[in-house]
Structure formats: structure tokens, C-alpha cells
Amino acid sequence: MTTRPPKKKTGKKTKNKTTGIGAGTAPAKSSSAVRTGVSAEAMATQQREISVSEFFAKNRHLLGFDNPRKALLVTVKEAVDNALDACEEGGILPDIYVELLLLTETRFKVTVRDNGPGIVQAQIENIFGKLLYGSKFHRMKMSRGQQGIGISAAGMYGLMTTGKPVLIISKTSRKKPAREIVLKMDTTKNKPEVVSDTEHGEDDTLFPDGHGTHVEIELEARHQKGRQSVDEYLEQTAIANPHAQIIYVTPANETITFPRTVNDLPAEPREIKPHPKGIELGTLLQMLERTKSNQLGGFLQNDFCRVGLAKARELTAKAGMTNRSWVKQLGHAEAEALYNAIQEIKITAPPTDCLVPIGSGALLAGLLKEVQAEFYTASSRPPAVYRGNPFVIEVAIAYGGNLPSEETARVLRFANRVPLLYQQSACSAFKSIVDTNWRGYELSQPRGTLPVGPLVVMVHMASVWVPFTSESKEAIADYDEIRKEMKLALQECGRKLGTYLRRRKRMQRQLDVRTVLERYIGEIATNCEGITGTSAKKIYEALLTQVKRKTAEADAILDREGKVIASLDETDVVIVTERQAGGGGAAFDESLFESTTTTTTKNRVVRKKSKKRTIRRKRVA
């Protein structure tokens, strides 16, 4: 429920700004205090009357449509996020197709197609043609989308800039033919307007799986490669979603495939009720009004998590009431007393099984796929709670290899598997990385900045409610609890990296020693022959045996944590990165391993049988 207040405020603000007196709904909305008789449903009907086009024209930056370049990214992002959410909810391994078709210099056609369960005809209009309509807004459940604005806003942006309606093709089952709907939004009424609705048997070829959704949006946009581009977004999405296959056709008509590397869907996140500690007074008041329970005890037990009979009794007693108090009779003062009681009394942390982290194994798989490095490691924190919202922080790092060594580390931020590309420096993840002392892990780090080196740092926050700094969902807000967890996870990865780098340094040193020794023992052998008459060759070979024995470590192969896992012959120096070793923790990782130890996030078991990735380094001559 904490999800709503910021959103509502925006709505209200917009309303006052854009419709003002004219809308005639102001009285119900203007006060954040006691409102009587307005249910959520009534609210929704009122919202429909907002002049969406004006709202949108003035506030498009709030949704991320600041400029043509960003508009393109946001459109793709919203469509892909929806597609992934739909597939996962439908229990289908996602196959996503993204195409950017360049129509004119400034106009693009964005096509996004998934193999999800499809959308029933009746809902298509609402989902794509109506702002603030969706399944994710009213619930406490981990998902990519949260607000129900995204895709409809994208469609509307397209309509506004090009006048072209949105084309949706959806197929829900093999038996039914695909349905093609061309949709316009009545922007003054926030109402979908169906231009055409036809059955298209021939479109079935688009959906080899027999189901899926296909969306086409035409919009004014600009495509540019590099940072904060569609390309980067898709690349990072592939990292955080190794269970998805993404095919991307660029404006230059190149096809890039991000293959699937994990063949198991993430577990279905469980929906939870709000935690008492996580709500604000206003939310509490709302909940009191909307509850189906008659008595306070029932309300507390049914509408919140972690409140049982005893805890409800304790809370009501503290607030000067009883479990039998009638909800309808509670006024503002009583609600406030209850709110204060909640703050004072200890309540068990919210359940954390509602969270589905990516898992160290899948994180590594994703990173390994998209980043060419030499060393990878990941760490998953146990679930923690901020403001009554459970969350999990996961960190993965990649080091060395083809990464640029002179630049500052690249930061990949994710919230519920969605890449965050803008406002990096405002983000808690960024601040945590800067806060971490990387110098202790053999990296250089100018004061107050990111570490410098061939390093990619990936931070993922999974939560039923990710606290963004703004509606455009670009940066994670800086809560102490979140920052602490991020730092701990970063430090864990950093320690492993440090161990590895120190070990590697030592190996390099041994290698140097070996080259030097090999030079000298030739001299020594010849001169010893001169002195004693013993054959130089014999002496040389005996000494060489010893040299190799002394510098055996240089031949060793290291695992992610810098432990020796095997020794190869002395001809090459091989650094092996264990492909999917490391902490399990999430159920869907398990198939990756031949043997698994789950639940412990600090799991450091190295599995020798898993696939290895080898990067050969040329011996220093």
C-alpha cells in the first residue's frame, strides 16, 4: 500500500494543475485527510475524467519522455518489461522480439513481440488504451511494472507525435486465431477507441508457440548507440534475465541475439499483504475505510501480514482500544493512536519468501554471457527490510579480460530485473559503490569516485516495492537499510576479487621469478661444469626441475575466489573462471549445478565438475 501515496500525489497535483476547477472532482481529491464515502473504484472513475493529453503534454518528462532519444528507450523498455512480466506470470520462458524500424529521419516503428499467454480481447483496449490501468498497481508483489502507466503512455506518445494508432496482435491459444486490434486513445477522456478489430488467421505465424502478444507503436524518436541506448538496455536486460531470449533488430537492420543461458523460469513471486511498519498514517486511514472487517482485531489480522491475535491485542491495547472496537467508529484521533502504537511495538519482519532474487548462479550466467572478463563473482544478501518492505540485494562483478582498464568501473543497476540507465549518481547503488573502499581489494579508486579498472559492477535490488527517487523509475532512493545491504554485498564480492587479484599477482611474480631463474641456471650449469667437470646439461636439468617445483603456483588455475582448483601443464598460464560456481540460494539456479547447496548466501562451495571458461594469457617472454 505504500506504493500508492507518491503516485496519488502526482495524480492529484496533475489534476489541480491541468483540470483545476473544470473537472469538478476537486472536493474529493483536495484533502489528504479524512475523506468519506469515496472508494477506490469511485476514485478510478473520477480519474478517467482527467484530461490525459494535457496532463501528458505537460508532464511527459515524469514518465521519461524527455527527449526523442529517451522516448524510444522508454517505449521499448515499457513494452519489453510488460512482455517479460506477462511471460513469467504465464509460466512461459520468454522469447522476446524487438525491432526498431527507421521510417524517416525522426520517425520509428517499434515492434515488440513476446510468446506470453496473450491478452484477452476485452482487456487489450484497457491495457493499451488507458493510463493507470493494470494488474500491478494495487498489489504487494514483486514485478517489473508497478504503476500501469508505461505501455499506454508510450502508445499515447506515439499517437501524439505521429497521429498513428497502436497496433496490437494477440493470440491466446493455438485454437483461436490471432486477433488484430488497432487502438487509438481518446486522450481527453482517457478512454480507448478501437479503430479496427479483426481476426487474422495469417498472423498465427508470428506466434510459433501458439500464443503471444505483438505491439507496434510509431513514434517520433531518435536512435543513438552507446550509453543509455536501446542497445544497452537490451544488453543489460539480457544480463538480469538470462532465462529470456531476446532478438533485436536494429535500425540498421542488423539482428542481434541475446541467447537464453538459463532454462528455468524464476519462481513465481508471492503476493504479500502490507507490513504494519511499512505504512503511513494516510494509508492506514484509507485501509480502515476500505476494509471488509468490522472489528479492529479482524482488520489488523486480515489486512496486514505478521499480525496475529496476540499482536493485534497488543497493538489495540497500546492504542487504548480493544480487538472488538468497531472499525467504522474509529476517527482520525484513534487512527493516529493506532499508527503510533504500530511504531512503538515490535513486529516480526515481513515474510521474505515473496522475493525472487536472480540468484548468484543466474547473475553470473547473465554477466558471463554479455561481459568478456576474466574473473566473475556474485553475492546474494539475505532478505532485509526497509520501511516494512522486504528486499534483497544482489551484487555481481566482472573483472579483467576485454574490459577497458583505464576507465572507471561500469555500473549496472537493476531493480526487479529492470536495468536502470539514467540518473546514475542519484542512485543508492552508485553511492554504495563509491562508499566501498575498493583500494583494499587491489583496485585504484580516486577519492570519492568509482574504482578505476577493468571492472563491471552489477547491483540488483529485488523488492515488492522498489523506492525510486522519481516516477520515471531511474534511481533507487537512498535508504540506510538499502545502502547497508548493498555495501555488504559489494564488500563480499570485493573480498573475493581481492583474494583473486592478490593470488594472480603472486602467480605473476612467480612467473617472473621463473623466467629469471631459467636465465640464470643456464649460466650456473655452464660455470659449474667449468669448475667441477660435471656435465652442464645434467646440472641444468636438475635445476630446472627445481625451478618448476618452486614456481608451481604459476601453473595453477584459479577459481573465482582465487583458490587453486587444478594444475595444468607448464606451457601455458591459464586463468579459469568457474562458470556457474558459487552461491545458490534461488531455486531456479539449481539445474545449473550438478550438486547444489541452497539457502546459504555465503555458500562458497566450488563445484569442480561445472563448466569452465578458460581465458588463456600469453606467457610473458
Partner 1 sequence: MAKKKTTTTKTPGRSPRTTAGSGRGVSKTQDRRTIGKIKDLGDAVVRDSLALKEPAIGIPLRTAGNTKYNTKRRILEMGSAKQSRELFNFGMSRKFMQTVLLANGCKELVEADKTLSLRGMYYKTLHTIAGTKEKTFDGQDESDPIIEDLEVSLGALREELHVFAKKAGTMVGNITVVDTGDEIDCRRMGSGGYAIPSIVEPETLQFKKCDAKFVLHVEKNTVWSRFNEDKFWKKHNCILTEGGGQPPRGVRRLLRRLNEELGLPVYCLLDCDPWGHYIYSVIKQGSINLAFESPRMAVPDAKFIGLRASDYERCELSDDVKIALTDRDITRAKQIAAYPWFREKKHWQREIKAMLRNGFKMEVESLITKDISYVTDTYTPQRLKDKDFLD
Smaller CB distance to partner 1: residue 273 or 548? 548
Q: How many CB atoms lie within 10 A of CB 9?
A: 11
DSSP state of 358: -
Task: State how far the Cα of 430 lies from the Cα of 288, in Å rounded to an integer.
Answer: 39
Task: State how far the Cα of 3 lies from the Cα of 136, in Å rounded to an integer.
Answer: 10
CB of 530 to partner 1, least distance (A): 4
Task: State how far the Cα of 407 lies from the Cα of 401, in Å rounded to an integer.
Answer: 14
Smaller CB distance to partner 1: residue 106 or 508? 508
DSSP state of 444: B
Smaller CB distance to partner 1: residue 348 or 534? 534
CB contact at 8 A, 487 and 477: no
First to last CA, the chain: 64
Smaller CB distance to partner 1: residue 346 or 519? 519
Smaller CB distance to partner 1: residue 181 or 528? 528
Smaller CB distance to partner 1: residue 426 or 552? 552
Q: Exposed, middle or buried by CB within 10 Å (0-12, 13-18, 19+), for 423? A: middle
Binding residues for partner 1, rule: CB under 8 A, are 513, 516-517, 519-524, 527-528, 530-532, 534, 538-539, 542-543, 545-547, 550
CB of 500 to partner 1, least distance (A): 23
Smaller CB distance to partner 1: residue 214 or 514? 514
Smaller CB distance to partner 1: residue 9 or 550? 550
CB of 437 to partner 1, least distance (A): 31
Its sign, for the CA torsion 355, 360, 362, 367, is: positive
Task: State how far the Cα of 306 lies from the Cα of 349, in Å rounded to an integer.
Answer: 7
Smaller CB distance to partner 1: residue 111 or 551? 551
CB contact at 8 A, 323 and 296: yes
- The order of strands in the sheet holding 245-249 is 191-200, 178-186, 166-171, 212-220, 107-114, 95-104, 245-249, 255-258
CB of 418 to partner 1, least distance (A): 52
Closest CA to 184 of 201, 162, 214, 199: 162
3-state helix, strand, coil in the chain (%, to 5): 40, 20, 40
Q: Exposed, middle or buried by CB within 10 Å (0-12, 13-18, 19+), for 155? A: buried
CB of 277 to partner 1, least distance (A): 60
CB of 570 to partner 1, least distance (A): 17
> Helices 428-435 and 480-532: crossing angle, nearest 10°?
40
CB of 539 to partner 1, least distance (A): 5
CB of 573 to partner 1, least distance (A): 18
Q: In the numeric block, which cell numbers belong to residue 164?
A: 498513428
Closest CA to 463 of 140, 241, 242: 140
Task: State how far the Cα of 440 lies from the Cα of 451, in Å rounded to an integer.
Answer: 11
Smaller CB distance to partner 1: residue 123 or 546? 546
CB contact at 8 A, 240 and 417: yes
CB of 511 to partner 1, least distance (A): 12
Smaller CB distance to partner 1: residue 258 or 540? 540
Buried b (16+ CB within 10 A) or exposed e, 381-396: bebbbbbbbbbbbbbb
Task: State how far the Cα of 149 lies from the Cα of 140, in Å rounded to an integer.
Answer: 17
CB contact at 8 A, 72 and 216: no
DSSP symbols for 189-201: TTEEEEEEEEEEG
DSSP three-state, residue 232: helix
CB of 547 to partner 1, least distance (A): 8
Smaller CB distance to partner 1: residue 30 or 545? 545
CB of 545 to partner 1, least distance (A): 6
CB of 535 to partner 1, least distance (A): 10
Q: In the numeric block, which cell numbers belong to residue 558?
A: 584459479
Smaller CB distance to partner 1: residue 40 or 542? 542
Closest CA to 148 of 169, 166, 172, 123: 123
CB of 231 to partner 1, least distance (A): 47
